[in-house]
Structure 1
């Protein structure tokens, strides 16, 4: 499969959320995206990246969408860290665009693999439509031509989750879980 990985934010103009310990969302998303790239390539998938370094040219969300669409990617994965004023907020979330789309089964597979990898981690879900993903009209989900998901890997504003998100071991484990979901999706839908 050809997978487009989007490391959220750009690390120059927009660093995303900042944790209490000073970790930057843009750095965590980039390091996890690079780990996912390596994992997927080792599994035999082709990878297209929206960024592999801090790059101010990616400030536009449509530029990210265009990278995925022009590459004719089979899947799109955007990686982010969540943030909240309530520093006790925690958990992982997987988003798709509203309605029943081709991204829903992929999002469910990611949710299941993350839950298996991190059994003690809260998985924030919305089963109102029968599956665990949440729905949002994020540009990268609405404008891409392929099944697209956005993964909130945890709350950077939560002291404990920030420490975990900044840990390269945790980033690699997230990459493994998402890599397993890509393999499952490829086996079932391709």
Structure 2
């Protein structure tokens, strides 16, 4: 498995709508394994393929609590105690087929928007259909953090980052700070 670079806002690839996957192959499973390794290395709880520059409708998630000695942001930001039995999840060509009318508010962050968090309101529950790691069709009822995370990652597949849910003023301020950070670290922004 390989840790891949995570692209960050304002990289224009994050605004692309991801392409459907034709089949779950060994090459796609290798991509998903790399995505899990990359997500864990970055201390994230979810990652869409577009965040590593691959324009495919693929998501990986791991909502299990971090090790007790781990000071990762995921364990600091979210109450993961309710998810202690969750494991790594793989979503190929996921589709949200139902959302609840009841809304929920979570303070979200994003591996493509490092260091910034803000409240985002989303449906409290949803139902997702997808292909799993073996290419088998699945359906999953999601609520709480699982529902928030799958909706956040599905946004990535549709060219939306969590900043797009914020006011224009907040969004512009964060993008400006990210641009400054990238210049300060001599990272060249894509055109």
TM category (shorter chain) comes to under 0.3
More helix by share: 1
TM-score, with length taken from structure 1: 0.27
Larger Rg: 2
Asked which structure has the greater RCO (Cα within 8 Å, sep 6+), the reply is 1
